[in-house]
Structure 1
Amino acid sequence: MNRRDVLAAGLLLPAILGADTGQERSTFRIGLTPVFLDDQVEFLKRWRQYLERRLEAPVQFVQRASYREVTELVLHGELDVAWLCGYPYALNADRLRLLAVPLVEGRPLYRSYILVWDEDLTSRSLTDLEGRIFAFSDPLSNSGHLFPQYVLSMLDLRPEEFFRRTFFTWSHRHVVEAVAVGLAQAGAVDGFVWEMLNRLHPEITRRTRVIERSPEFAFPPLVTSIHLAPDRYALLARVFLGMHADAQGRDLLTELGLSGFAKGDRSDYDEILFMAEELQRA
């Protein structure tokens, strides 16, 4: 086979296999974890279509059951962007780059909520829950695991000794549901998710009561690998940061419970990193 034949074979191979290599390379893969979006199939379809028009390329949402799975995918370049909790971002900030931080009523902040069953009228804070069955959301969740652990550690208490039993639900919504039906007597969740569920599914949240709210933390960010090509990063940043500027983008943001996206700074997550490092030393 001469050089011309080799070249022709290379050009024909994608057609023979039915592959569109150009389109495959241009697809933007966006990683999500199960928050309140886990049952919003129609919304994700409309958001994907919006992003495809703005990015002028195919978009694929990649959903995984845990923060660890999504974090590993973006670190290894298998995702272009991922919506992560601030905890895994803070732990891997040397290998991840902030793309955008969601805004809630114009502010990039949220809180951890400590919940109990609504018929528990005596508990007032996390420290009142000794001997209870407690639900965490995800091992790498700031609001659903790190913060309550840190609070207890400052009192020289360990969750495995303080609570009768603990378990992970792998979703903030599932923490709320576990407390609502009595599977857990208390739990820790992302306050933003609880507020969204309270708006969309009050039949779930009305069986729970918020007894404690944490200080404000930087909102879970959109991040990329530090190795993402600069042109892809710039395009993604322009589209997400500009969503508030058009009517359809604003409508989608409203459904997300957001007012927009803003540029973030690594230092915004220093408090989360501080708690993680203190726990390691405890």
Structure 2
Amino acid sequence: MIDRRCFLGMLLLSGGAVLSSCSNAAGKDSEVIPLFAERKDGDEAASDGAAEKVKVAFAALVSPQESFYKYQNLVNYLEEKIGRSIEVVRRQTYQEVNDLLGAGEVDFGFICSLSYVMGRDEGTLAGIAAPVIGGSSFYRSYLICRTDSGCNMLEDLQGKTFAFTDPLSYTGRLSMLKLLHDQIGADEGFFREVFYTYSHDSSVHAVHLGIVDAASVDGLVYDELAASQSDLVGNVHVIYKGPAAGMPPVVASALADDGLKSSFQNCLLGMVDDERGRIVLEELGYDRFEVPDDTNYEVIREAVAAVGESAVDESGAVRQMRR
């Protein structure tokens, strides 16, 4: 049994440090991370028609500081376009966001592809928009390790320390489990110890700093870091690229108002035709948003079918995936 300890090391990023915590049995006591700056008019908005607020949840694809810069302008843009105040709900894990969506406690969520497939197949959420990046509707997982680790192929990672991103991450966990299943006939026990970083850039930092020997990360995040912080990946190399899957989508709770869903979706899909929208898209590194094609996510269903219960969260509370 792998000792899943808390990832307690500080990963020093430009301008600050990221601390990530382990998920507990139920995942309910995870620390809520600060994604966005508090609004100065937050108190007034709460008293002047809180019912009019649209609640949007974010899980930590990248670390808090990076998330602020990545999504703040998008939130501001959406507020102006739909004419309603947006309350950002911050959660550390994909499971927490899925639970909020399922209960109707938030209207929309920015989640990963695996948590989308699970929620969609359970009937608790629907995909409304997915980004197109570099002309592609797909992304993939990268298996990375330090160049001085002596690891150049999957077999070399036996008995090494490994960083996953989130229990419900396709690129940050499931894709790696599928690779172990197919090529080695193994599971997480193949590694000496497994850590969870809860953001892809933190996983890259963990490998770069030698906190872990290897990690499974979102290839888009890795490529972006390689382009903007080449020193960060100077001692890191990619030894495997996983199969392509549909981009992480924006989703709506099944309990959200239909009119609101349509308005929110139209706003995202129409950004490419709006001058300010195109500026926000460029800041995000997106070409545009498109309606998600469910067939793009079939590779994820196939991976879950192959690895079984390993695709669920740490508590062992199995979320059966239904077609």
Give the TM-score normalised by the residue count of structure 1.
0.87
Q: Do the aligned residues in 1 keep the contact of 2:145 with 2:237 (CA within 8 Å)?
A: yes
Unaligned runs of 5+ in 1: 1-17
SS of residue paired to 1:167: strand
The Cα of 1:271 is off from its aligned counterpart by 1.5
Distance 2:132 2:124 in 1: 24
Cα deviation per residue 1:216-268 (whole Å; 9 max; x = unaligned)? Answer: 11111111112211100100001011111122212221221211110013332
Unaligned runs of 5+ in 2: 1-43, 311-323
Distance 1:99 1:62 in 2: 19
Q: Do the aligned residues in 1 keep the contact of 2:163 with 2:197 (CA within 8 Å)?
A: yes
> Which segments of structure 1 move beyond 4 Å, counting only runs of 4 or more?
18-22
Give the TM-score normalised by the residue count of structure 2.
0.76
Q: Percent same amino acid among aligned pairs? A: 29
The Cα of 1:20 is off from its aligned counterpart by 6.4
Distance 2:282 2:153 in 1: 32
SS of residue paired to 2:207: helix
Count of aligned residue pairs for this structure pair: 264
Map 1:22-61 onto structure 2 (within 5 A).
Answer: 23-36=49-62, 38-40=64-66, 41-61=68-88
Q: Quote the residue 2:8 is aligned against.
A: none
Is 1:79 matched with 2:139?
A: no
Q: Do the aligned residues in 1 keep the contact of 2:61 with 2:198 (CA within 8 Å)?
A: no
Larger gyration radius, structure 1 or structure 2: 1
Q: Quote the residue 1:12 is aligned against.
A: none
What letter matches 2:130 in structure 1? V
Q: Quote the residue 1:6 is aligned against.
A: none
Match of 1:171 among 190, 195, 199: 199
The Cα of 1:33 is off from its aligned counterpart by 1.5
Map 1:1-282 onto structure 2 (within 5 A).
Answer: 23-36=49-62, 38-40=64-66, 41-93=68-120, 94-120=123-149, 122-154=150-182, 155-160=184-189, 162-280=190-308
Q: CA RMSD in A?
A: 2.1
What letter matches 2:147 in structure 1? D
- Measured at CA, do residues 207 and 98 of structure 1 come closer, stay the same or move farther in structure 2, by a change above 3 Å? same
